[in-house]
Structure 1
């Protein structure tokens, strides 16, 4: 299976105007390249001015943010999540800083005993080494929290459903099948072209899977995504 994917490249300008074009994505190096040039004119005929964000959409509809580093475009590292003591977290961060010379290039958020470490580095070196470093801690200190992620998925989807005035019982009925068919049926229920399913539910499962492997095409990646999606569906 090839690790080079044809993807949709989207840049968001001036508070929400989206410009869509095509690109290629290397799932191993996380490099985004062959970005097709697009006309930078908005719907009013004016040239766009301020870039808000850039991201790609994979063939499976997964959204990955993109950043520029030394003239190259790469998808930004996912937030690392783990549970453990403050000492565990500090020990991990010391190794992380030593390995990548991050200095202040990260941010740590703590919520209900879950540490979220946001890394801003976009180097190839990061991606080549982070799996090995994470694995060193995963057996004891960095085991991602299945329960925490499922709770976040349920809360997020409920909030979206309430905004859309969609019955939670209607979602529970779909989820009772405990299948991908029930999950995909959210698109028809919400009538939102997949926004609710992808942005308010499945995006969490992608983050969870990336804590185990950065290979989006691997069996392990799919298994971990389904593990937390199924738990959230049963919990909803």
Structure 2
């Protein structure tokens, strides 16, 4: 009899959680044992259920996906973590791998790729979406990726997300509406990330984003 695998879904959008749960239920030998709307709950569910894998979003309230991944890997290194995100920029991949993620998949993946990623990670293999450039993998494995992007890795997932939105020209109020947070919260994150990256204007921020190739995948998928 084939092994049965247990999975926790960590995603703060209820509609997406339902869709992911439906997809996972269609896969053989896979069972969803828990759903987490933030990173803290994901960590607690790993303590409680000891799942085989966590399907992890990066941008979540209370505790973001990167911090949650680090905690899960620290206390339960046997639990696999497959990141599922809209972010395809190199810095996000470096940060996730450095946190201990076993795989990295983009949310525009097909059902076939989704199934392949799930089973690859569950079977102990690493997985990276085909849409992620090969130099990301080479740079990380050579030790240059994480080292060269230490400033970016200081940012929280939310700060990284706001960085990208600012670089695309969105105003604070527009970002607040998109992320369902207050304008003051956006302003605070913006101030923090500008200080961490030693930036002094939106123009400098956009120049850095252009230099590093940081572009939101959502523009490619509509």
Please give the TM-score of this superposition, normalised by the length of structure 1.
0.27
- Specify the structure having the higher radius of gyration (Cα): 1
Q: TM-score, normalised by structure 2?
A: 0.28
- Structure having the higher strand fraction is 1
